[in-house]
Chains A and B, each alone.
Chain A
Amino acid sequence: MSSRPAPQIGFSFEYLMWIFTRISGLVMYLLAFVGLVMAFWMGAHQQVDIGALARWTFFPNPNHVTNTNIPDVTLGWSNAWWQVMEMLIFLFAVTHGMNGVRVIYEDYIGNTWGRALGRGIIFLLWIFLLIVGIYVILAS
């Protein structure tokens, strides 16, 4: 059940984020599915244990499958395609998560100043995490 009533349909921040939360949930399922299927296609059944497979499915970074029986991760498991996949997953997950933090925060903090401050801090955290994460993706 929704934590708060669904916002009125219309062009408002609250409604756009409500829709975004649902769409990004579905998109994360889709991206995870692609990662999982392609992992099996590349031989995960013989080469990757279940823990590493779960990590890879959630976030297809070559570091997530280095301690497995894959002979050479640079063959298929580490390339620009997966970097784009990682950036997409990361963008959706962090935005979804940080907006979730905002929703929870605003359910408990009612006054205007507290909300403005909270929104500012959460916005900065969001940008900060995006920059650090994308740096790590591009450098790995």
Chain B
Amino acid sequence: MALKRNVGLKGIKYRGGGPMLAWALHRISGLAIVLFVGLHVISSFFMQQLGSDIATALNTVYESIYFQFIVIFIVLFHALNGLRVIILDLWPQLIKFQREATWLQWLIFIPTYGMTVTIMILNQLQGG
């Protein structure tokens, strides 16, 4: 008897498109900011009040340029994507331009992020 089921990898193929990727990134970036801000606030408290070693260690991580690249990516993405969500929620008739809005958002994100990172790398190379 021949196998009637369609066995294959089609089912797991990613079909959500740009907006779904944006939604997943929004969740992840939101949680990441809560984690980052929460730890930062607590470590600032220990730094300020006790000059603690653990707080110094955490600050060293936070001050590393690679960590800053990640933080800037996450915060900038969450803020821009959040603005898109807010605008589309306030004017629901615009929802039909959802895909275009997502593209526009990346069109703003890429140069803003790219320029920031470039300037930071140049400063780093100058020993700034």
Contact = CB atoms under 8 A, between A and B. Distances in A.
Q: Tell me the interface secondary structure of chain A in the complex.
A: helix
Given A93-B37, A97-B33, A104-B27, A49 B85 contact: no
B41 A132 contact: yes
Given A50-B120, A94-B37, A140 B27 contact: no
A109 interface: no
Nearest to B24: A3
B95 to A, nearest CB: 8
A139 B41 CA distance: 13
A51 B26 CA distance: 23
B44 A136 contact: yes
A94 B33 CA distance: 10
Interface stretch (B5-13, B75-83, B103-111): B75-83
Interface residues of A, number: 30
Given A3-B23, A58-B75, A104-B31, A22 B37 contact: no
Contacts of B119: 50
A100 B49 CA distance: 30
Contacts of A63: 44
B85 A1 contact: yes
A129 B79 contact: no
A64 to B, nearest CB: 11
B31 A50 contact: no
23 contacts: A1-B23, A1-B88, A3-B27, A22-B86, A22-B89, A22-B90, A26-B86, A29-B79, A50-B119, A51-B68, A51-B120, A51-B123, A58-B75, A97-B30, A97-B34, A97-B37, A98-B34, A104-B31, A136-B41, A136-B44, A136-B45, A139-B48, A140-B44
Interface of A: 1-3, 6, 22, 25-26, 28-29, 49-51, 54, 58, 63, 93-94, 97-98, 100-101, 104, 125, 129, 132-133, 135-136, 139-140
Interface of B: 19-20, 22-23, 26-27, 30-31, 33-34, 37-38, 41-42, 44-45, 48-49, 68, 72, 75, 79, 82-83, 85-86, 88-90, 98, 116, 119-120, 123, 128
Given A54-B116, A97-B33, A129-B38, 8 more contacts: A1-B19, A3-B23, A26-B86, A50-B119, A63-B44, A104-B30, A139-B49, A140-B44
